[in-house]
Amino acid sequence: MLPEPLLEIKQLKKFYDIKTGWFQPKQQVKAVDDVSFTVYKGETFGLVGESGCGKSTTGRAILRLQEMTSGEIWFQGENIAGLSYEKMRKLRRKMQMVFQDPYASLNPKKTILQILTEPLRVHGLYSQEERVKKAIEILEIVGLSEYHLHSYPHEFSGGQRQRIGIAKAVILQPELIIADEPVSALDVSIQSQVINLLLKLQRDFQLTYVFISHDLGVVRHITDRVGVMYLGKLVELAQTEDIFTDPKHPYTKALLSAVPITHPDEEKDRVILAGDVPSPLNPPQGCTFHPRCPDCMMICKTEKPPVIDLGNHVVACHMYST
């Protein structure tokens, strides 16, 4: 059976104008620069990269939480890039988001009942009593209970808040959930609980995830396919196992080798990258990775690398062009 595409991103771009002064020319930050990928129904698609690589901006742009500069977003066969606020609002029933910071993403002045029934209410689903019942149901599914209905977010620990954030996203039974670093703010012993919850919900509700994270261990565990981003560009995209066992792009290689070892006796070949991620205000010419690349060639300094398909493994690097 061919997998059915649920979400297709085509040439997504998000540029910010930076005003530097009255009479200076405007500068542009290319936060997301020509990113395309497809997410299939039922899979978990990972987006990884370091801070400032544009992975969160991509996630938010897909949900139109941030207006994009150009590009197409096809969701269930419809280009949602140009939808009006109201049309988009109705569509949001099918696409939800889980945020990184469980302390900031719940309104501190609302009780859990209000937080959980609001999605149902604004989409005109069920009667008031049924909504309360649904809220209790979902609370139990995410491992909390009816007792918590009248509590406020601050009465919960970080892990519990993230459960509530997830419950809020799942209560509408959406097709797609974009999870932006959903476990990064949590304690180690809580992270695994929340990952288990996400996996369980995916099985129970046939959810499709776009999982945005910088934690490669978590990404390896939870995702089916992974896109690696660097400075606003997708540099590599493949099945998770392929990325982790046979990375092609020099950046992916360096990123994977930088992950701390998991046992003191583990030996690791480190590619320690020189320098920092360059400022997106002034990205390097040619391949944006070339100043840090251990395999940099002449052509990399002048020409943008082409996107090369190595059979289910896409990489943007001159090394693989023939």
Residues in 44-83 that interact with another protein by CB under 8 A:
50-51, 60, 63, 65
Binding to another protein by residue 145, rule CB under 8 A?
A: yes
Residue 134, phi then psi, degrees to nearest 5: -60, -40
Residue 267, phi then psi, degrees to nearest 5: -100, 140
The least distance separating another protein from the CB of residue 77, rounded to whole angstroms, comes to 20
User: Which of 18, 133, 150, 281 lies at the binding interface for another protein (CB under 8 A)?
Assistant: 150
Residue whose CB is less far from another protein, 101 or 295: 101
Binding to another protein by residue 8, rule CB under 8 A?
A: no
Binding to another protein by residue 261, rule CB under 8 A?
A: yes
- What type of residue sits at position 300? C
The least distance separating another protein from the CB of residue 265, rounded to whole angstroms, comes to 7
Binding to another protein by residue 225, rule CB under 8 A?
A: no
User: Which of 26, 147, 269, 322 lies at the binding interface for another protein (CB under 8 A)?
Assistant: 147
Place of tokens 């890039």: 81
Angle at 58 between CA 10 and CA 109, to 5 degrees: 140
- Cα separation, 163 vs 157, whole angstroms: 10
- Cα separation, 79 vs 77, whole angstroms: 7
- Which candidate, 119, 122, 129, 126, places its Cα nearest to that of 166? 119
Interface segment toward another protein; rule CB under 8 A; list 21-29, 76-84, 185-193, 312-320:
185-193
Binding to another protein by residue 191, rule CB under 8 A?
A: yes
Q: How many residues does the chain have?
A: 322
Residue 224, phi then psi, degrees to nearest 5: -95, -45
Interface segment toward another protein; rule CB under 8 A; list 22-30, 33-41, 144-152, 300-308:
144-152
Total residues at interface with another protein (CB under 8 A)? 83
